[in-house]
């Protein structure tokens, strides 16, 4: 008898063969299938899909709607194979997607998060402290960081290689000497702690395997609570992805303050962040009041100089 997990593997393999990366589906849908199995359900039901989608209970409705959309795609695929499958209606969780306001971390915030990681078990403490530090100084996506293998860190050249970034794009990220030193120290600690790892991953869990995307987010939320960081509004909550936003905004702020030609430098930042084009990077101009004010001030100076 084919299990739901096997059906899910077939669904993901089929869509990926058509060119879809399905990163979010690959991370979340196995948990949904586990949810069905915990309730003894042999097939998808709209009610169980709704119950799973509305997690966490304090989450944003737009996030719930996105989770339900992932289930709907899988359910539509399964319905042709198993008529017991219920496809959740499209209006079951209507929500207009509103892009979250980035939670811009201060240096003190990042230090508090790293300090909070120290309460974890020794290897997890080092893994998460180093991961948070790396995200904050490179702007990498968390999925890119936990996908790094140990061979992707070249301490001689001082770079990390992102081999399969968003949209399948690869890039090299140059590192500051201090960052190289921290990664080198972590690698030594990791290898002493787990001399025979079960994964080639650069960042390891306590049992020697690669960090799991879902677990990384869950652990980060715990560290946020331990560090005492509070939401600034219903649309501005501290998320691990906001370390990337913070890096981008701080880089732009520093460029403006230094009087550099930001328009000329923006494609460089886009390449560094792994954006498809500078259009995605321009969004950060409206993400921070400070950055928006600096951009407006620069435009005003340009107009005055021409008049």
**Residue 215, domain CATH:** 1.10.443.10
177 found inside a domain: yes
Q: How many residues does the chain have?
A: 307
Q: Do 17 and 106 share a domain, yes or no?
A: no
91 found inside a domain: no
Tokens of 21: 């990366």
Q: Do 54 and 114 share a domain, yes or no?
A: no
pTM for this predicted structure: 0.68
Q: Do 16 and 127 share a domain, yes or no?
A: no
232 found inside a domain: yes
90 found inside a domain: no
Catalytic residue list: 141, 166, 241, 244, 275, 284
Helix orientation angle between 242-257 and 289-306, rounded to the nearest 10 degrees: 30
Q: Do 211 and 294 share a domain, yes or no?
A: yes
How many domains does the chain contain in total? 2
Question: Of 49, 79, 109, which residue sits at a domain end?
Answer: 79
Could you give the C-alpha distances from 287 to 119, 230, 248, in angstroms and in order?
Answer: 32, 19, 10
Side-chain-facing half-sphere of 171: CA atoms under 13 Å:
23
Q: Do 248 and 283 share a domain, yes or no?
A: yes
Strand order across the 171-174 sheet? 153-154, 159-162, 171-174
Q: Do 126 and 184 share a domain, yes or no?
A: yes
**Host domain of residue 122:** 101-307
Q: Do 71 and 108 share a domain, yes or no?
A: no
Residue 119 exposed, middle or buried by CB count within 10 Å (0-12, 13-18, 19+): exposed
Q: Do 65 and 169 share a domain, yes or no?
A: no
Q: 């892009």: which residue's tokens?
A: 99
Cα dihedral across residues 66, 71, 74, 75: positive or negative = negative
Task: State residue 252's pLDDT score.
Answer: 85
Q: Do 50 and 114 share a domain, yes or no?
A: no
For 168-184, the pLDDT digits (tens) are: 678 999 999 999 999 99
87 found inside a domain: no
Three-state helix/strand/coil letters over the chain: CCCHHHHHHHHHHHHHHCCCCCHHHHHHHHHHHHHHHHCCCCCCCHHHHHHHHCCCCCCCHHHHHHHHHHHHHHHHHHHCCCCCCCCCCCCCCCCCCCCCCCCCCCHHHHHHHHHHHCCCCHHHHHHHHHHHHHHHHHCCCHHHHHCCEHHHEECCCCEEEECCCHHHCCEEEECCHHHHHHHHHHHHHHHHHCCCCCCCECCECCCCCECCHHHHHHHHHHHHHHHCCCCCECCECCCCCHHHHHHHHHHHHHHHHCCCCHHHHHHHHHHHHCCCCHHHHHHHHHCCHHHHHHHHHHHHHHHHHHC
Q: Do 61 and 109 share a domain, yes or no?
A: no
What is the rounded CA–CA span in Å between residue 156 and residue 84?
A: 57
Residue 172 exposed, middle or buried by CB count within 10 Å (0-12, 13-18, 19+): middle
89 found inside a domain: no
Q: Do 125 and 166 share a domain, yes or no?
A: yes
pLDDT by position in tens, the chain (length 307)? 689 999 999 999 988 887 777 888 998 999 999 999 999 999 999 999 999 999 887 677 878 888 999 999 999 999 989 999 999 998 888 765 566 778 889 999 999 999 999 999 999 999 999 999 999 999 999 999 999 999 999 999 999 999 876 656 789 999 999 999 999 999 999 999 999 999 999 999 999 999 999 899 999 999 999 999 999 887 789 999 999 989 988 888 888 888 888 778 888 888 888 876 666 676 666 666 665 555 555 545 544 555 5
Task: State residue 299's pLDDT score.
Answer: 47
47 found inside a domain: yes
Q: Do 236 and 305 share a domain, yes or no?
A: yes
For 199-214, the pLDDT digits (tens) are: 999 999 999 999 999 8
Let me know: does 102 contact 83? Beta carbons within 8 Å.
Answer: no
């Amino acid at each position: 008898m084919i299990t739901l997990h096997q059906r899910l593997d077939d669904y993901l393999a089929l869509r990926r063969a058509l060119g879809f990366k399905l990163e979010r589906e690959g991370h979340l849908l196995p948990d949904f299938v586990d949810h069905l199995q915990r309730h003894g359900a042999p097939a998808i039901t709209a009610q169980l899909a709704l119950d799973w989608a509305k997690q966490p209970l304090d989450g944003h409705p737009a996030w719930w709607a996105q989770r339900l959309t992932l289930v709907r795609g899988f359910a539509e695929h399964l319905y042709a194979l198993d008529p017991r499958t219920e496809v959740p209606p499209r209006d079951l969780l209507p929500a207009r997607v509103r892009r979250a306001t980035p939670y811009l971390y201060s240096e003190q915030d990042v230090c508090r998060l790293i300090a909070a990681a120290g309460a974890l078990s020794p290897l997890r403490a080092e893994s998460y402290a180093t991961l948070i530090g790396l995200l904050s100084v490179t702007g990498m996506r968390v999925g890119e960081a936990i996908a790094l293998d140990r061979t992707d860190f070249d301490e001689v050249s001082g770079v990390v290689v992102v081999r399969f970034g968003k949209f399948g794009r690869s890039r090299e990220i140059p590192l500051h000497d201090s960052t190289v030193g921290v990664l080198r120290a972590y690698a030594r600690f990791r290898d002493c702690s787990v001399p025979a790892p079960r994964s080639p991953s650069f960042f390891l869990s306590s049992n020697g395997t690669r960090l799991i995307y879902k677990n990384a987010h869950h652990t980060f939320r715990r560290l946020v609570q331990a560090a005492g960081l509070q939401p600034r509004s219903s649309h501005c909550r501290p998320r691990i992805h906001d370390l990337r936003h913070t890096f981008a905004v701080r880089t732009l702020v520093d460029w403006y303050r230094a009087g550099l030609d930001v328009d000329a430098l923006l494609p460089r930042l886009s390449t560094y962040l792994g954006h498809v084009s500078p259009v995605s990077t321009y969004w950060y101009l409206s993400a921070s009041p400070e950055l928006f004010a600096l951009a407006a001030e620069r435009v005003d100076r340009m107009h005055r100089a021409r008049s």
